[in-house]
Structure 1
Amino acid sequence: MAVQHISAARTARTSGTSLRRAASSAARIALGAVFLWAFADKTFGLGYSTADGRSWLDGASPTKGFLSHVAAGPLRGTFHAMAGQAWADWLFMLGLLGIGLALARGVALRIAAAGGTVLLALMWAAEWPPARHLADGSASGSTNPLLDYHVLYALLLVALAVTGAGRTWGLARRWAALPVVRDHAWLR
């Protein structure tokens, strides 16, 4: 009887572990799709946040519209100066693509978490949720002065990297076996 109880407990524990791994991997893949979709829409102008004819391939800047309309916060002038700069466009787009691919494939999650957290922190600062009013005096529409989806995505990125979410439904094991990755843990 005791052996059956121990076996049932092991099965339940294994099943719970499998469910946690599957859930974190599903979250990883979904968040990767968010970044990859943003990259694709801005690159090809799929008609969602980027209108047809206003894509990066059409010569439009993926940062100009967003950053030139920053209307609150201590970095407003800095973001306005960055808007439409080629270096900002390239960094932003490569960031979206790199973070999205890393998450989708389950590799380099530590790098993706670090880079993604920086990108999301900058986007949070550009929207500046603490502001109740914009520079023109109108209401900001902010619903929470601290937490928004940028913060939640950043926390999720860190959690996915810390928990090794790329091992299930991802290429993390193969990635970790590469000599350069094995010798430099920060690449995992």
Structure 2
Amino acid sequence: RWLSFAGVTFQPTETVKLLLILVIATVFLKKGCGARVQYWLLGFLFLTVGLVFLQPDLGTALILGVIGVALFLTSGVGLTRLVRVSIWAFGVLILVATLIYFFHPDFFSSAKLGRFAFLDPFNLHNLDASYQLRNGYYAIGSGGVFGNGLGGSIQKLGYLPEPHTDFIMTVIAEELGVLGVIWTIFLLMLFTFTALY
């Protein structure tokens, strides 16, 4: 899941996201949106997502699946054909999940099921699985309206294991407060609208 090269640690699956977009978009552009092309691309998507899922990296596998579905939705595929392909894909997914459950039940470990700890993070049974989420809440709460000042985050000093990735917004909330979060969201929306335009 993680490789170190020349002192830099990175996830190879980050390049897979870009390559998946390029491959599916190029095939749709060159070959069109025919049924054969869709089923071939769907198989390719399942293979890519399945390999990442078996690393195991459930989060990135889900992101790759969402990217693939978004590409199918924006490719110009007709709605009826898209519904048929979606039903087929959902059936295959259910079949694969059932086979994994019966032949390899420990695959659905408590670590994977711990992803649902966000539903009740302060439950005594979820304290380990929801550690980062709870500390994210503490960071947001301590920031208040105006924040603790740029660089004044306490939670990023070890309480949030990955403050620079998934939980960067909690650090922004702690340091710059609600106003800083609103400003950051405004800048992200401006960037998105400009890119779409």
TM-score bracket relative to the smaller structure: under 0.3
Which structure carries more relative contact order (alpha carbon 8 Å, separation 6+)? 1
| Greater helix content | 2
TM-score, length of structure 1 as denominator length: 0.26
TM-score, length of structure 2 as denominator length: 0.25
